[in-house]
Amino acid sequence: MKQGLLVVVSGASGTGKGTVCSALLESLPDLAYSISATTRLPRDGEKDGVNYYFLSREEFREMIDEGGFLEWAEVYGNYYGTPLKKIQERLAEGQDILLEIDTQGALKVMEKCPEGVFIFLVPPSLEELERRIRGRGTETEESLARRLGAAREEIGIGRRYRYVVMNDKVDLAVERIRAVLMAERCRVERNTDIFEVLEK
Ligand code: ADP
Ligand code: 5GP
């Protein structure tokens, strides 16, 4: 059985990761979203076990101690982590998995799983980034300033990814990611079985 693709999408807050990933998941029913755990409070409309597993700090700490995360990071004062067990099982079953995580977490995954597909999503400009975060209406002025301050630094980390995808239009960003995934599925190192059959 061929391992599934571990697809990692990151980008500064407000770039449109959530929006693009939802559209991508809709267009690719075979891609499964990895639900992260977090200690932040749910936003309006967010549901436990759907958007995140909402944990207390104690519960999160316990999960760290048990080795339950592929990676975890502190982002804007809250903890976020990728639960390990389900991902391992599903990749082994050939299921493609999508992680939408911050750059600190993605760098850890690059070390542990270099065969992953690392995609950095960028906004057309920093002005547009600010407009998007304001337009979303979920942040206080303080949290907005913090996210914008972090954005420039985070975008620099994007140079360490394999792919950069511009999110000018959601449809175009989705199409670019679909093209990346198609190409990744065609990589020689993921298809040694083809050679084994043809060279017999
Ligand atoms: P992130 O998950 O990266 O923090 P969101 O998906 O919450 O970002 O998007 C931030 C805001 O920008 C939302 O209001 C969303 O509707 C908007 N947005 C996302 N992508 C685009 C785009 N390509 N063009 C215009 N607005 C966008
Ligand atoms: P938000 O609070 O807006 O949902 O997410 C804040 C940031 O945390 C985003 O950059 C998001 O990608 C990141 N994030 C979400 N889940 C995880 C995770 O499991 N691990 C890490 N490292 N970051 C995460």
Report the relative pairing of strands 31-33 and 96-100 from DSSP bridges.
parallel
Structure tokens at 110: 């690059």
User: Which atom of ligand 1 lies at the shortest distance from residue 170's CA?
Assistant: 23
Q: Which CATH superfamily is domain 6-198 in?
A: P-loop containing nucleotide triphosphate hydrolases (3.40.50.300)
pLDDT in tens, the chain (200 residues): 789 999 999 999 899 999 999 999 999 999 999 999 999 999 989 999 999 999 999 999 999 999 999 999 998 889 999 999 999 999 999 999 999 999 999 999 999 999 999 999 999 999 999 999 999 888 899 989 988 999 989 999 999 999 999 999 999 999 999 999 999 999 999 999 999 999 98
Ligand 1 in reach of 83 Cβ (< 6 A)? no
Residue (of 146, 175, 197) closest to 14 by Cα position: 146
SS (H, E, C) 44-65: CCCCECCCEEECCHHHHHHHHH
Burial class (CB in 10 A: 0-12, 13-18, 19+), 136: middle
Predicted pLDDT of residue 163: 98
Q: CA 116, CA 172: separation in Å to the nearest integer?
A: 22
Ligand 1: which of 15, 19, 101, 122 to mutate, most ligand atoms within 8 Å of CB? Answer: 19
Contacting residues for 196 by C-beta, under 8 A, at least 6 apart: none
Q: Contact at 8 Å (CB) between 117 and 163?
A: yes
Predicted pLDDT of residue 76: 82
Ligand 1 in reach of 147 Cβ (< 6 A)? no
CB count, 10 Å around CB of 129? 24
pTM above 0.85, yes or no: yes
User: Which atom of ligand 1 lies at the shortest distance from residue 173's CA?
Assistant: 23
Q: Where are the domains of the chain?
A: 6-198
Residue (of 147, 85, 82) closest to 108 by Cα position: 82
Predicted pLDDT of residue 136: 87
Ligand 1: which of 127, 128, 132 to mutate, most ligand atoms within 8 Å of CB? Answer: 132
